[in-house]
Amino acid sequence: MNPEQFVINDPINFDFQVNRQSLVDPKILEIEMKNIFDTCWIYVGHESEIKNIGDFKTRNVCGRPVILCRDSNSDIRVYLNACRHRAAVVAREAEGNTRSFFCFYHGWSYNINGELDGVPGKASYPPSFDVTRLGLAEPSHVDSYKGFIFLSFNKDAVPLVEYLAGATEYIDLIVDQSPSGKMEVIKGTQEYDMKANWKLLVENSFDDYHLITTHSTWLNYMKRSGVEIKKPEKGHLMPSHGVGKVLGNGHAVIDNVNFRGRPVAKWIPLYGESTKAEIQKIREELIDRLGPDRANRVAETNRNLVIFPNLVLNDGSAITIRTFHPVKPDLMNVTAWALGPVEESETARAVRLDSFLTFYGPGGFATPDDVEALESVQKGMATFKEVPWSVMSRGMSKEGEQLNTDELHLRAFWIRWKDLMFSQIGR
């Protein structure tokens, strides 16, 4: 396959186009599974989800069932959730605390360190049968950055921090919201499907060009609740200033001046008068701890971060961790969680969760319209033979700053996608 057949990137002539075949073709998805999902660092979960020894969560990551587990040394482990005997999954619950993983099919069992420690009728196996080589298998690499756990099935993967590149700055801005530097995933998981190609959700997650038209009902809701929505400056589309930035390795971010309120720490009327003092207290703690400039950075800007290929950290009306895996070219499974500081008071936590639901999730005031947009795009994609190209050149001819409504950050994703799909970079 010729890379130019899928992404045209011509900075001299300010031309950037993506071929729609990349969003509908099952052969492309096959290559993506190998060249992208089996190559990159992929998000698994958060350290706070497995606090105690023996805690585990089961997930699907890159098409594999995995177990995220805290072992007897309190280390974080990820096991492939498949018995070494006949491959039946050994943990069938969503979560729990256990001393072992037991395969009910023939009774093999594994301890929380993944070691095979029970084989019924072991004497019938030949002498070469070696239990020490039959522990639960693990991905090539598992590592975490400030609580966020990733795996890689690529034995030659670069270290996680190197992979994350400039994205670490934006993860740090999230973690800085906790006085102790510890964030936690809040109970309650939103798991839902979208009938759209997974890359459309990448684009959508940090595309502010769509906000005004796709989310006008949300903007109305904000206005009606007392939030000030300013008229955009001349030549702009958004009520506040925001930029798009490229962070390396396909990661990118939009970084916007906040107008919509933040649980840490910018009060809006929607939060209720009774919470005003508490949000102010959180702000003061930020200023004491981080200094006025950094506190301002944390509390007065929203950031939608895409970590290539399939992790989105939206730090807006609340913080959402959102990850998604393709099932078919036109279907993905999405999982989303809310993240908050561990020491958050009951009031502040309630504000955060309430604020989350004003925008995000399958029942929110905005996400449903995103889903409708992406599913609508996917339907239109059936015309890809007649109309093969989507133009993605907003901002390309501008010198200097790129706006959140430009497409520099979307292009960064697609440039990395093209590199990985058609060459050996990063492998």
The angle at the Cα of 37, spanning 40 to 32, to the nearest 5 degrees, equals 120
Residues 275 to 314: which contact another protein by CB under 8 A? none
For residue 229, CA distances in Å to 99, 219, 221, 232, 239 come to 54, 8, 11, 9, 6
Which of 13, 74, 100, 216 touches another protein by CB under 8 A? 216
User: What is the three-class DSSP state of 211?
Assistant: helix
Write the CB contacts of 323 (distance below 8 Å, at least 6 apart in sequence): 43, 310, 311, 312, 334, 335, 336
Q: What are phi and psi of 393, to 5 degrees?
A: -110, 15
Q: How many CA atoms lie within 13 A of 111 on its CB side?
A: 9
Neighbours of 168 (CB within 10 A): 19
Confirm or reject binding of residue 399 to another protein (CB under 8 A): no
Confirm or reject binding of residue 210 to another protein (CB under 8 A): no
Which of 130, 293, 346, 399 touches another protein by CB under 8 A? 346
Distance (Å, rounded) from C-alpha 219 to C-alpha 222? 5
> Which one of 71-79, 189-197, 242-250, 258-266 is the stretch in contact with another protein (CB under 8 A)?
189-197
Total number of residues binding another protein (CB under 8 A)?
40
Confirm or reject binding of residue 234 to another protein (CB under 8 A): no
Q: What are phi and psi of 317, to 5 degrees?
A: -60, -20
Which of 194, 295, 298, 408 touches another protein by CB under 8 A? 194
What's the DSSP call for residue 403?
A: B
- The sign of the dihedral angle between the CA atoms of 286, 291, 296, 297 is negative
Residues 40 to 69: which contact another protein by CB under 8 A? none
Neighbours of 187 (CB within 10 A): 8
Which of 133, 224, 231, 234 touches another protein by CB under 8 A? 224
Confirm or reject binding of residue 159 to another protein (CB under 8 A): no
Which of 191, 228, 284, 401 touches another protein by CB under 8 A? 191
Q: How many CA atoms lie within 13 A of 89 on its CB side?
A: 12
Write the CB contacts of 162 (distance below 8 Å, at least 6 apart in sequence): none
The angle at the Cα of 303, spanning 171 to 355, to the nearest 5 degrees, equals 105
C-beta of 319: minimal distance to another protein in Å? 11
Type of residue found at 338: A
Confirm or reject binding of residue 354 to another protein (CB under 8 A): yes
C-beta of 332: minimal distance to another protein in Å? 11
C-beta of 225: minimal distance to another protein in Å? 8
Residue span 325-344 as binding mask against another protein, x where in contact by CB under 8 A, dash where not? --------x---xx------
Cis omega (within 30 of 0) for bond into 232: no
Query: Nearer to another protein by C-beta: 28 or 374?
Result: 374
Confirm or reject binding of residue 214 to another protein (CB under 8 A): yes
C-beta of 193: minimal distance to another protein in Å? 5
Confirm or reject binding of residue 209 to another protein (CB under 8 A): no
Largest CA distance in the chain: 80
> Which one of 69-77, 241-249, 347-355, 399-407 is the stretch in contact with another protein (CB under 8 A)?
347-355
Query: Nearer to another protein by C-beta: 139 or 340?
Result: 340
Which of 165, 237, 353, 415 touches another protein by CB under 8 A? 353
Residue span 69-98 as binding mask against another protein, x where in contact by CB under 8 A, dash where not? -------------------------x----
For residue 187, CA distances in Å to 74, 184, 224, 337, 339 come to 21, 9, 30, 8, 9
Distance (Å, rounded) from C-alpha 392 to C-alpha 203? 11
Beta-bridged to residue 50, according to DSSP, are: none
Confirm or reject binding of residue 111 to another protein (CB under 8 A): no
> Which one of 66-74, 117-125, 142-150, 215-223 is the stretch in contact with another protein (CB under 8 A)?
215-223
> Which one of 1-9, 168-176, 190-198, 255-263 is the stretch in contact with another protein (CB under 8 A)?
190-198
Confirm or reject binding of residue 363 to another protein (CB under 8 A): yes
Confirm or reject binding of residue 365 to another protein (CB under 8 A): yes
C-beta of 82: minimal distance to another protein in Å? 20
Distance (Å, rounded) from C-alpha 226 to C-alpha 102? 55
Query: Nearer to another protein by C-beta: 140 or 213?
Result: 213
Neighbours of 192 (CB within 10 A): 15
Residues that bind another protein (CB under 8 A): 94, 186-195, 213-214, 216-218, 220-221, 224-225, 333, 337-338, 346, 349-350, 353-354, 356-357, 361-363, 365, 368-369, 371-373, 379
